Amino acid sequence: MAELEALYGEMLARRDSARVTALPGPWRITFDTNPDTCNLRCIMCEEHSPHSPKQELRKLAGKPRRLMPMELLRRVFAEGAASGLREVIPSTMGEPLLFEHFDEIVDLCAAHGVKLNLTTNGTFPGRGARAWAERLVPVTSDVKVSWNGATRETHEAVMLGARWDVVVDNVRAFVAVRDEVAAAGGNRCRVTFQLTFLETNVHELADIVSLAADLGVDRVKGHHLWAHFDAIAPLSMRRDAGAIDRWNAAVDEARAVASRRGVLSRTSSRSAMVSTSRPAGHAPSSDRRPGSAPRVASIRAARPTNSAELWATWATSTRRG
Ligand code: SF4
């Protein structure tokens, strides 16, 4: 914790002494490239869960899959790069690596000097983790791999269709390329495990942090369940005082493990960081949004010169569950 405080203090001092020029555009843009396309059916997913009627209703209504036109992306990249754009996030609903023009997004990032911030389900479809890593790592700031257990049983029961052995091997392969590129003096892309806290996985949180450290993952990050369906509302860790207590205990245990394994060591690729939020007190919530409790551990590498973010999205879609 002392290391965290020192690092944070250093960042704040650097930020306050920096002379920066504000630019007019957003520093980051999220593109909802392909919300209807995924190869998994996570139980908490607003679009693709077996509990969700949304995709079936779209089919019945004869609606086509939503796919963002590349012409729009090209135009936004060109205009954004000239006005301060530093980072883009492709679809956080659906699997972005299944977007048929994803390679062109990578090329646009390289051409405009814009970083890619990717959330993926860890299946690395089509070409496999190593080949995807070779393509992605040079332009990517952070790869968030959706991760929902420390055991096969737990992970596969949440992310329906995922195969534990495959996703673990994928992370290992991705991190190996990340380390090779960094060792050769190239970009060091951060790798993050991102989970949804659930009654069925929160007891494995400390083990997820251990696994992350074993695999060379830099950070473990989680958010509370968006209970889009009554069937999964009992999995929320915000639903009553007992669940909140179990969640707090799990986070404390996970942070202790993260500390033992070298939390926030900027020089060690084997460290893990727990970045998450706490429920405020013991007030249960039936809120269907993830909540806005304060973060207990959050580090930014640099403050962007322009602070606005922008979402290019569809009228009816929301973010990944
Ligand atoms: S949460 Fe993400 S990976 Fe899981 S089904 Fe939904 S879009 Fe796919």
Which ligand 1 atom is the nearest neighbour of the CA of 46?
6
pLDDT score recorded for residue 308: 73
3-state SS of the chain is: CHHHHHHHHHHHHHHHHCCCCCCCCCCEEEECCCCCCCCCCCCCCCCCCCCCCHHHHHHHCCCCCCCCCHHHHHHHHHHHHHCCCCEEECCCCCCHHHCCCHHHHHHHHHHHCCEEEEEECCCCCCCCHHHHHHHHHHHEEEEEEECCCCCHHHHHHHCCCCCHHHHHHHHHHHHHHHHHHHHCCCCCCEEEEEEEECCCCHHHHHHHHHHHHHHCCCEEEEEECCCCCHHHHHHCCCCCHHHHHHHHHHHHHHHHHHHHCCCCCCCCCCCCEEECECCCCCCCCCCCCCCCCCECCCCCCCCCCCCCEEEECCCCCCCCC
pLDDT score recorded for residue 211: 95
Which protein residue has the closest C-alpha to ligand 1 atom 7? 94
pTM of the model: 0.84
pLDDT score recorded for residue 265: 35
Residues 6+ apart with CB under 8 A from 180: none
pLDDT score recorded for residue 25: 84
Which protein residue has the closest C-alpha to ligand 1 atom 6? 45
**pLDDT per residue of the chain (321 residues) written in tens, 0 to 9:** 555 556 556 655 665 555 556 677 899 999 999 999 999 999 999 999 999 999 999 999 999 999 999 999 999 999 999 999 999 999 889 999 999 999 999 999 999 999 999 999 999 999 999 999 999 999 999 999 999 999 999 999 999 999 999 999 999 999 999 999 999 999 999 999 999 999 999 999 999 999 999 999 999 999 999 899 999 999 999 999 999 999 999 998 998 888 888 654 333 334 445 555 555 566 666 656 554 332 322 222 233 345 576 666 655 544 453
Interval between CA 43 and ligand 1 midpoint (Å): 9
Which ligand 1 atom is the nearest neighbour of the CA of 146?
3
Interval between CA 39 and ligand 1 midpoint (Å): 8
pLDDT score recorded for residue 313: 62
Interval between CA 319 and ligand 1 midpoint (Å): 10
Ligand 1, CB cutoff 6 Å, lining residues: 38, 40-42, 45, 48, 93-95, 121, 146, 159, 320-321
pLDDT score recorded for residue 319: 47
pLDDT score recorded for residue 309: 65
pLDDT score recorded for residue 24: 79
pLDDT score recorded for residue 306: 56
pLDDT score recorded for residue 283: 66
pLDDT score recorded for residue 266: 35
Domains of the chain with bracketed CATH: 26-34+67-320 (3.20.20)
